[in-house]
């Protein structure tokens, strides 16, 4: 993952076709729908090696390791319509502990410590997560073509572009079967609590499914259901507006990347996009509203500081209820798009009449661009 992020609003509006957005029918022609393992960059996401890399990207244990520890898990990892890993959503329950949900986004460094979004969930939510997973790995029969009518031409071609992909895991430890058979005998002997009870157990299992949205299988629907349930359970993400994102996995990924007080950081996350819009539309009035104080002095100084450059921001960090910080950099380029100079940029935000605005900002000296 790049060290510098564009504004989250821009990331959220990147042109991609999600499982919920795409409407083209499956192009499968066989007896069952082909789940289509290749992402938009041509990588086969069904191979064990590719899936190991995905887990390493998020710092996740393998299904076998989790099962060995007796953990029951439902997990979905998302890949967007351009082959980029987005988020991993995991619901799990360890022996002797309550069920939990966590969200992780890709790590910049394999050795970097991960601090996932984590929350406890209710028994009702856990039951919903489990029950909804009953058939996600089942194959669906391809829908037969409609009978041709007199005068109809050939059917239009089926096209599905930039579709999302997901890898879903369901890990179940052995459980006591609902069917318990008591010791043999009748009458008082059968009711004697000292007699051994014959208990039947369900088998341990690992079920997995890698699926492309174009295949319109059950795995993709279940993965997005997990994202919906996770968002509802994670109060820290409540200040992010789903309307600013392509879908819930992208919102959760952005939420995970927020720092400090995530509720505050989520509110502050609108500032970079507002600055970009004001500069792009050359609206001095709109730009002035984004800075503390009356008049345009601070806004004018900000505009002069980044003149001719492009500002890129990391996710915000919430300091307290009324303060947040956004760090980033300014990049100046040649006409051919090649970066020539860079400078670090820090925005110190203050809540004024309920909304965050820029209180102060710092821009470092320009330095020549270094080849990375």
When pLDDT is averaged across residues 65-69 and rounded to a whole number, the result is: 95
Check residue 197 and give its pLDDT. 64
Extract long-range pairs of 350-357: CB within 8 Å, 24+ residues apart: 350/292, 350/322, 350/323, 351/321, 351/322, 351/323, 352/292, 355/267, 356/267, 356/268, 356/270, 356/271, 356/324, 357/271, 357/289, 357/290, 357/291, 357/292
Angle between helices 123-131 and 218-233 (to 10 degrees): 170
Residue ranges and CATH numbers for the domains of the chain are 15-144+160-184+196-257 (no CATH), 267-368 (3.10.450.50)
- Residue 257 confidence (pLDDT) above 80: yes
Mean of the per-residue pLDDT values of the chain: 83
| pLDDT at residue 115 in the model | 77
Q: Which residues of 259-295 are buried (b: 16+ CB within 10 A; e: fewer)?
A: bbbbbbbbbbbbbbbbbbebbeeeeeeebbebbeeee
The three-class DSSP label of residue 124 is helix
pLDDT at 2: 36
Average pLDDT of the residues in 92-118 = 81
pLDDT tops 60 at residue 12: no
Whether 310 shows a pLDDT value over 90: the answer reads yes
Kindly report, residue by residue over 110-149, the tens digit of the pLDDT: 444 457 899 999 999 999 999 999 999 887 766 666 666 6
Compute the average pLDDT of residues 21-25.
34
Q: What is the pLDDT of residue 258?
A: 94
Residue 196 pLDDT greater than 90, yes or no: no
Q: Name which of 138-152, 203-217, 264-278 the model is least confident about.
A: 138-152
> Could you tell me the pLDDT band of residue 28, with boundaries at 50, 70 and 90?
very low
pLDDT of residue 155: 66
């Amino acid at each position: 993952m790049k060290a510098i992020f564009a504004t989250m609003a821009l990331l959220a509006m990147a042109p991609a076709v999600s499982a919920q957005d795409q409407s083209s029918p499956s192009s499968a022609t066989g007896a069952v729908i082909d789940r289509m393992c290749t992402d938009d960059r041509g990588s086969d996401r069904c191979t064990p090696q590719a899936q190991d890399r995905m887990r390493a990207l998020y710092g996740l244990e393998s299904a076998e390791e989790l099962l060995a520890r007796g953990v029951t898990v439902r997990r979905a990892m998302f890949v967007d319509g351009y082959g980029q890993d987005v988020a991993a959503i995991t619901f799990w329950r360890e022996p002797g502990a309550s069920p939990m949900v966590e969200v992780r986004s890709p790590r910049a460094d394999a050795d970097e410590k991960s601090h996932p979004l984590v929350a406890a969930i209710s028994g009702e939510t856990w039951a919903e997560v489990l029950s909804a997973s009953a058939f996600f790995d089942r194959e669906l029969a391809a829908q037969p073509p409609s009978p041709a009518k007199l005068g109809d031409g050939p059917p239009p071609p089926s096209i599905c572009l930039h579709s999302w992909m997901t890898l879903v895991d369901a890990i179940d430890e052995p459980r006591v079967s609902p069917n318990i058979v008591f010791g043999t005998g009748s009458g008082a002997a059968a009711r004697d609590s000292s007699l051994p009870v014959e208990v039947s157990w369900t088998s341990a299992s690992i079920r997995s499914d890698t699926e492309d949205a174009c295949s319109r299988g059950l795995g993709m629907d279940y993965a997005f259901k997990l994202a919906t349930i996770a968002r509802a359970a994670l109060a820290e993400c409540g200040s992010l507006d789903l309307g600013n994102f392509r879908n819930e996995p992208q919102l959760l990924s952005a939420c995970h990347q927020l720092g400090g007080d995530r509720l505050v950081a989520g509110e502050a996350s609108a500032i970079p996009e507002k600055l970009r819009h004001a500069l792009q539309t050359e609206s001095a009035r709109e730009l002035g509203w984004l800075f503390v104080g009356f008049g345009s002095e601070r806004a004018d100084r900000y505009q002069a500081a980044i003149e001719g450059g492009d500002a890129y921001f990391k996710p915000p960090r919430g300091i307290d209820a009324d303060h947040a910080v956004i760090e980033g950099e300014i990049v100046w380029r040649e006409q051919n798009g090649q970066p020539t100079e860079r400078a670090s940029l820090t925005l110190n935000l203050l809540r004024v009449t309920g909304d965050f605005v820029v209180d102060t900002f710092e821009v470092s000296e320009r330095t020549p661009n270094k080849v990375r």
